[in-house]
Amino acid sequence: MNQNITVAIVDDKRDIREGLQLIIDHAEGFQCVAAYSDGESAVDGLQKVKPDVVLMDIGLPQMSGIDCVKILKDIAPEIEIIMLTVHADNDYIFESLRAGAVGYLVKNIFPSKLLNSIKEVKNGGSPMSSSIARKVVSSFNSFRKPAANLTKREKEVLDLLCQGKSYRVIADDLFISPDTVRYHLKNIYKKLQVNSKYEAVIKALKDGMV
């Protein structure tokens, strides 16, 4: 017999706690083992109950849900925590993930999706609402190193270089001389802070410049 996935809820609103508990307890393979209205009681109780997954609100009285996550991951690191909140700001998202949460869901999620997310965490995944995932991807993209300040011609030379074309072929394709190709490559190496064609190609591909 498969063992139920045990779940705990931390939310200061009684109707939400009771609604979540009802969803979990009426789903096959799940069991709600605890529910708390504040972070302090959650920290005290969860280290004893030790459920598989915790659904954690952020806007808790006194201790925030994010601070609660930090403490719980110190005292009971095996507990997996999903943030379940109305907050969708970047600061809340990244503070939660840095604190140790493995998932981030907004409260308008469908019950079936919530249950699948709990199961996903139990199986080693990190579920996020689609709008949250988009914010995470956008933020990571913004952290990428800006492309070197290459001229249009230098970018054309670099693109052809990454396609594996020789200096002669690059020159023919761009209607310039091989010496001009070498001149552009010299500038490209300097701007990319590399010393060879191989390093230039690797850096260009790694940084998404072509």
Q: What pLDDT score does 40 carry?
A: 95
Classified by CATH at the fold level, domain 152-206 comes out as Arc Repressor Mutant, subunit A (1.10.10)
pLDDT tens-digit readout, 170-210? 999 999 999 999 999 999 988 888 887 777 888 887 777 76
Task: Domain ranges for the chain, please list them.
Answer: 5-142, 152-206
Q: What pLDDT score does 134 carry?
A: 78
Instruction: Please indicate, yes or no, whether the overall pTM of this predicted structure exceeds 0.75.
Output: no
Q: What pLDDT score does 147 carry?
A: 56
Give the mean pLDDT per block of 10 residues along the chain (210 residues).
Answer: 86 96 96 96 93 96 94 93 92 89 92 94 88 74 62 91 86 94 91 83 76
Query: Can you read off the two tokens belonging to residue 55?
Result: 């659904």
Cβ contacts of residue 210 below 8 Å, gap of 6+?
155, 158, 159, 162, 204
Q: Would you state the CATH architecture of domain 5-142? A: 3-Layer(aba) Sandwich (3.40)
Q: How many CA atoms lie within 13 A of 71 on its CB side?
A: 16
Q: What pLDDT score does 1 carry?
A: 44
